[in-house]
């Protein structure tokens, strides 16, 4: 796997419009591993004053997705299924989602992720299946380096 592929995926993530709603950063230290950082504020709370489940899902799905797509250099992968386990509520602070590729490279890939607080306490985990799409990565402006 090429380091340039990982940097292009990081740029693709940074330029995705959804990340304007959920400001976060992605780092791909090596193929098969992803780390996403996000800070929970009161703007992300549900009616009972803790982070809404959409935050958990987005961070876990993205971390697992990019861990999987880091192993595929030609096409964009798509989430086909994701199991989510919420273990603790969180009110504020930095969260880190650690994604790891588990298996597969041909058509279907499996990856998992853990969401932890800055102190390392797990608040959620998930596992997903991802499959290659027909969308070439090189056709995506963020990946290709075009705005």
Which is nearest to 82 in space by CA: 105, 117, 58, 47? 58
Cα separation, 63 vs 27, whole angstroms? 9
What pLDDT was estimated at residue 109?
Answer: 98
The count of structural domains within the chain is 1
73-97 pLDDT, tens digit per residue, is: 999 999 999 999 999 999 999 999 9
The pTM (predicted TM-score) of the whole model is 0.95
Task: Read off the CATH number of the domain in which 69 is found.
Answer: 3.10.129.10
Q: How confident is the model at residue 146 (pLDDT cuts 50, 70, 90)?
A: low
* For range 16-42, the mean pLDDT: 96
- 65 versus 1: the higher-pLDDT residue is 65
The residue segments making up the domain with residue 77 are: 3-144
* For range 112-122, the mean pLDDT: 96
């Amino acid at each position: 796997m090429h380091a340039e592929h990982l940097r292009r995926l990081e740029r693709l993530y940074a330029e995705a419009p959804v990340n304007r709603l959920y400001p976060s950063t992605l780092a791909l230290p090596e193929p098969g591993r992803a780390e996403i950082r996000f800070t929970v504020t009161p703007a992300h709370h549900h009616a009972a004053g803790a982070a809404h489940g959409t935050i958990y899902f987005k961070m876990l799905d993205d971390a697992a997705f990019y861990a999987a797509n880091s192993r595929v250099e030609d096409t964009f992968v798509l989430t086909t299924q994701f199991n989510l386990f919420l273990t603790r509520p969180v009110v504020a602070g930095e969260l880190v989602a650690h994604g790891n590729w588990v298996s597969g490279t041909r058509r279907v890939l499996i990856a998992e992720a853990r969401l932890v607080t800055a102190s390392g306490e797990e608040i959620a985990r998930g596992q997903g299946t991802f499959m290659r799409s027909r969308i070439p990565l090189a056709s995506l402006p963020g990946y290709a380096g075009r705005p």
